[in-house]
Structure 1
């Protein structure tokens, strides 16, 4: 009997380890050109242990701060954030401890990223990063000027319906992780003025540049097309 228990325990440990390794591999950045993370004549790129930032060399008045999804590498969102910077806005991706936004969502405040009160601050997040972005606004209502939620059903456990700042939620019709039904159920947690953008054919994984996510559905549009819609929606909302 003890031998069988040991065998079963070994099987479960092996299964758990394989599952963890699959997640780590699947959520790695894919399809991102190395040049995206290099400075050029227009954008200064800084890549540290805490952030990846894209700063327009001609100056800027607005700062776009991004929270990655859980377990997703920060540079999976670098192409999007670079394009935002190329349109004249400083763009910062926050690197979360252990890639878990639940433990790092206060990093922008701890790093004094809001110290310049002449700037406008836009906070965005994907999936669990969107949840923590919403939570940050809930806990710090005067620090953020606009909130953007990407591929997330949140806020779910707290209420932002009285928030005075503009909020936009972008979601995909083929998203198997943050599905449309759950998003609609949580609409009362956001202000009536919230702007909703539905990406027809878009899924969860294509909000970034990484592999297939557990529970997601297949997209019926390309990653490039979904990224283009996301970028244009964000730029319109920021302006």
Structure 2
């Protein structure tokens, strides 16, 4: 190999390695939480906050009936979902935001069962998740049909490889019209995998990333509404579904 060819090959290798490192750093940064009010992490007059190795929990100090369990999206800092979870808890609902091993719900979707979070048979349990978290929430219901009372799937085209069509669990699917990761077509293409009673609610102008407080996700589209507006609409849709008899 001539010196010139060797130099070119070495330069190309350096460029690829550098590009790979930059891309990896960008992915890490984009999945980090941003813009979250620190007050969400502290107790209030009505909510007690707990931060453990396994979850964030937000517990109403008054008697409550509903327990909401949330699975984060793949690689996303679980803190990114604290604002939504805390606001759900403010409506007298106990909330567990699960911290997944390696930030992948596929590795930890059985944690609520392992942590005995379903032991109180007097409570109503709502399981939810975003993106991969939603996929694995659906998987949990498929494998444990009698543990969950309601299922909420956010920003996800799943289930795909199994069917919940015969499930008796009420299901809600929330998605953004501008979601480039779980687009409307793929969501509706897999409609047959869910019960016929499943409610599909589209947030006009919403995208994938704005269901949490983290950076812009690879493959997503730009939203035409603010993150705050998308969060407000998501909260309202969730609460309406939980409060339905």
Give me the TM-score of the superposition, normalised by structure 2.
0.94
2:196 aligns to what?
A: 192
Q: 2:187 and 2:203 mapped to 1: Cα distance?
A: 13
Match of 1:212 in 2: 216
Give how far 1:70 is off: 0.4
Describe the superposition over 1:25-65 as per-residue Cα deviations: whole angstroms up to 9, x where unpaired: 01111110111011111100001111011000012111000
Q: Structure 1 length normalisation: TM-score?
A: 0.96
- Equivalent runs, 1:3-152 vs 2, <5 Å: 3=6, 8-152=12-156
- Structure 2 unaligned runs (5+)? none
CA distance in 1, matches of 2:114, 2:224: 40
How far the C-alpha of 1:83 sits from its partner, in A, is: 0.9
* Greater shift in the superposed pair: 72-81 or 14-23: 14-23
What is the alpha-carbon distance in structure 2 between the residues aligned to residue 69 and residue 138 of structure 1? 19
The root-mean-square deviation of aligned C-alpha atoms, in Å, is 1.3
Alignment of 1:229 with 2:233, yes or no, is: yes
Distance 2:111 2:12 in 1: 41
State the SS of the aligned residue for 1:197.
strand
